[in-house]
Amino acid sequence: MREMASLLEINELSKVYADGTAALKNVSFSVAPGEFIAIIGPSGAGKSTLLRCINRLVKPSGGAIRFRDIDAAAASRRQVRLLRRQTGMIFQGYNLIQRVTVLRNVLHGRLGYMNAVSGSLGLFSRKDVADAKAILHRLGLTEQMFKRADELSGGQQQRVGIARALSQKPQLILADEPIASLDPVASRTIMEHLSGICREDGITCIVNLHQVAMARDYATRIIGIHKGEVVFDGRPGELSEETIHRIYGAAPDWREQGGESLARA
Amino acid sequence: MENRLLALRRQKRLQTLLFVALALAMVIASAVRTEFTPYTVFQGVGEMFRFVVDDFLPPDLSTFRELIGPALDTIYMSYIGMVIGAIVSVVLAFLAAQTTAPHRGVQVATRAFASVMRNIPTLIWAIVLVAAYGLGTLVGTLALIITAIGTLTRAYAEILEEIDMGQVEAVRATGASYFQVLGQAVIPQFFPGFVAWSLYKLELNVRSSTIIGMVGGGGLGFVIQKGLKLFQFKEVSLAVILVLLLVAGTEFVTSKIRERIL
Ligand SMILES: Nc1ncnc2c1ncn2[C@@H]1O[C@H](COP(=O)(O)OP(=O)(O)OP(=O)(O)O)[C@@H](O)[C@H]1O
Ligand SMILES: [Mg+2]
């Protein structure tokens, strides 16, 4: 049932980097539309690699990734662009173009739909501009629209990051530790926005998180990765203390990373 | 242990003393060889002062109209030298920067080429070019273009190497094509450094175009050299004043532009 309706299908995915590091080993799971998946695991487990294989910022070494009707692992250059424009990405370091306005950063989400000339020159259509403004309004950034991106606070910049992803009108959002550089209050705001918008718009989301507590609070499903392998895949309620130990290994750095708030939660 | 440390320290002090003594000896030796003494300097200054006051002043203002043309030539040469140099250098910089070079060999070759262009002084280029093309502004312009390519290729390449690849990757992840990424993610980061370096090169060009002119590259430098040969010092002094004004003017304009853009 789930197989038929899946948006994303990952099968036996593996990645070995040029220096021989095996970052992913036989990772398989499928994602149904509307899921909000948190991927947790210790530093170096392969979380970023996994997300980056999905939108082909990293080329997989083996296995298959199917996104809708695109075979991502074997996609041509053109298909990779088609895949990427339907997939928004949010980064830990926000990665906004610092020197241009907030609005323009959001409009960058439209590039995948534009031709080479107008895209390179940044000649965005009126409709795109109007849509981008509406998205910024939704994220509470109307006032910041014409400011340079580097004038914003971290939390605001990450909201622009979300807005940029949304302007792609994506099917899927990949968020790589979106709150790792933010204070607890801003972290909450970002997670509220992200999960709220994805739910309202029916966007599927995969988010890498360091904090187990955050994963529990927002995810509909949690995938735990340890040394490149999936060691847990289930609902947040099924995530036991023991499983967390298994995910984070002998040295549970999750205790520092958010284990405390987990204990409180 | 203690003793060893003390001995080391003593040795260090001895080394320092030796170094100072050596440096001093070298200063004295070179002063003797070049006959540089405060007295000769003083004497020379007096002589220079007399020369300037008697022969150069006052500047011959009646020749002003004749100098407008050469002054404009100097400006054109500097400007065109910078613009064409900048255009060529941008292309070469993409080949020379580690982050954008298509191949390691291309990168090394481009860097070597730029280095040769840069490290042969503009003056030498001008002399060589005069032999090939004869006197005139063409030679001056070419010499300036050549050194601009040398300097700017390296400067631009360094800017490109410092670009934040995270920003570039984020735009690529939206599905943007190569040229879209270039236009929307690379150029915004490249632009401030590009403008700063190009304007700086324009300033340098105005200055060195005088020297180039003196070996036959046209412009005010050529007027100065001709005047010196014909002992028309009062005309020369007006030309020198014009050069100073041009340099100061360029610095003023470029700093204004820089303020506006950066
Ligand atoms: N470009 C690369 N070249 C070589 N090895 C890499 C590269 N990128 C990542 N790795 C290695 O692959 C493994 C997985 O890295 P990855 O960044 O996916 O982990 P992560 O789970 O995202 O960690 P973190 O929580 O620290 O972000 C690590 O051992 C890392 O050193
Ligand atoms: Mg990571």
Q: Running DSSP on this structure, what letter comes out for residue B219?
A: S
Q: Is residue B62 part of a domain?
A: no
B161 and B131 within one domain = yes
Residue of A nearest to B186 (CA): A97
C-alpha to C-alpha distance for B176 and A3, rounded to whole angstroms: 31
Take residue B26 and report the two structure tokens written for it: 């070298």
B186 and B129 within one domain = yes
Hey, what amino acid is at B239?
A: A
**Would you say the CB of residue A46 lies under 6 angstroms from ligand 1?**
yes
Domain at B208, CATH number: 1.10.3720.10
> Looking at beta carbons, which residues of chain B come within 8 Å of A116?
177, 179-180
Please say whether the beta carbons of A148 and A98 come within 8 A: yes
Rounded to the nearest integer, the mean pLDDT of chain A is 90
Atom of ligand 1 nearest to the CA of A210: 25
Range of the domain at B19: 2-54
Which ligand has the minimum distance to the alpha carbon of residue A210? 1
Among B31, B54, B77, which residue terminates a domain? Answer: B54
The band of B1, judged by pLDDT with boundaries at 50, 70 and 90, is low
The CA–CA distances, whole Å, from A99 to A4, B61, B72, B235 equal 45, 49, 36, 49
Query: Residue with structure tokens 């795109």?
Result: A128
Q: What is the pLDDT of residues B220-254, one digit of tens each?
A: 878 888 877 777 777 778 888 888 888 888 888 88
Burial class (CB in 10 A: 0-12, 13-18, 19+), B167: buried
B9 and B130 within one domain = no
A221-226 and A229-234 strand pairing: antiparallel
Residue of B nearest to A109 (CA): B174
**CA torsion, ordered A110, A113, A117, A121, to nearest 10 deg:** 0
Bigger pLDDT: A80 vs A260: A80
**Would you say the CB of residue A253 lies under 6 angstroms from ligand 1?**
no
**With 80 as the cut, is the pLDDT of residue A78 above it?**
yes
**Domain A2-264 carries which CATH code?**
3.40.50.300
B212 and B90 within one domain = yes
Take residue A225 and report the two structure tokens written for it: 């990765």
pTM: 0.80
Residue of A nearest to B174 (CA): A85
C-alpha to C-alpha distance for A97 and B168, rounded to whole angstroms: 8
Please say whether the beta carbons of A155 and A186 come within 8 A: yes
Q: What is the pLDDT of residues A220-240, one digit of tens each?
A: 999 999 999 999 999 999 998
- Return residues with CB closer than 5 A to ligand 2 (ion): A 48
B13 and B87 within one domain = no
Total number of domains constituting chain B:
2
The CA–CA distances, whole Å, from A191 to A1, A37, A263, B115, B239 equal 30, 12, 20, 52, 69
B72 and B45 within one domain = no
B124 and B34 within one domain = no
Which residues, in sequence order, are bridge partners of residue A234? A222
CA of A29 to the centre of ligand 2 (A): 19
**With 70 as the cut, is the pLDDT of residue A250 above it?**
no
B138 and B45 within one domain = no
What pLDDT shows up at residue A2?
A: 45
Are B184 and A85 a contacting pair at CB < 8 A? no
Q: What is the pLDDT of residues A140-182, one digit of tens each?
A: 999 999 999 999 999 999 999 999 999 999 999 999 999 999 9
Distance, in angstroms, between B190 CA and closest chain A CA? Answer: 10
Please say whether the beta carbons of A112 and B176 come within 8 A: yes
The CA–CA distances, whole Å, from A199 to A33, A157, A220, A238 equal 11, 22, 11, 22
> Looking at beta carbons, which residues of chain A come within 8 Å of B192?
99
What pLDDT shows up at residue A164?
A: 97
**Would you say the CB of residue A184 lies under 6 angstroms from ligand 1?**
no
**With 70 as the cut, is the pLDDT of residue B63 above it?**
yes
Distance, in angstroms, between B216 CA and closest chain A CA? Answer: 43
Integer Rg of chain B from CA? 25
Rounded to the nearest integer, the mean pLDDT of chain B is 83
Average of pLDDT values for B87-101? Answer: 88
Q: How many CB atoms lie within 10 A of CB A129?
A: 15
Among B54, B79, B94, which residue terminates a domain? Answer: B54
Distance, in angstroms, between A26 CA and closest chain B CA? Answer: 25
ipTM of the complex: 0.90
C-alpha to C-alpha distance for A224 and A243, rounded to whole angstroms: 9
Q: Is residue B59 part of a domain?
A: no
B206 and B134 within one domain = yes
B78 and B22 within one domain = no
The band of B56, judged by pLDDT with boundaries at 50, 70 and 90, is low
What is the dihedral sign for C-alpha A236, A238, A240, A243?
negative
Q: Is the preceding omega at residue A42 within 30 degrees of 0, hence cis?
A: no
Please say whether the beta carbons of B205 and B81 come within 8 A: yes
Task: Name the interface residues of A facing B (CB cutoff 8 Å).
Answer: 55, 57, 81-89, 91, 93, 95-100, 108-114, 116, 119-122, 161, 164, 168
CA of A74 to the centre of ligand 2 (A): 24
In three-state secondary structure terms, B90 is helix
Q: Is residue B182 part of a domain?
A: yes
B47 and B74 within one domain = no
Residue in A47, A53, A209 to alter for ligand 1 test, most ligand atoms within 8 A of Cβ: A47
> Looking at beta carbons, which residues of chain B come within 8 Å of A114?
180
Q: What is the pLDDT of residues B120-135, one digit of tens each?
A: 888 888 888 877 877 7
Distance of CA A19 to the CA centre of its chain: 26
**Would you say the CB of residue A19 lies under 6 angstroms from ligand 1?**
yes
A172-176 and A87-90 strand pairing: parallel
**DSSP states of A61-117:** SEEEEEETTEEGGG--HHHHHHHHHTEEEE-TT----TTSBHHHHHHGGGGGGS-HH
Are A122 and B167 a contacting pair at CB < 8 A? no
B75 and B45 within one domain = no
> Looking at beta carbons, which residues of chain A come within 8 Å of B169?
57, 95
> Looking at beta carbons, which residues of chain B come within 8 Å of A112?
174-176
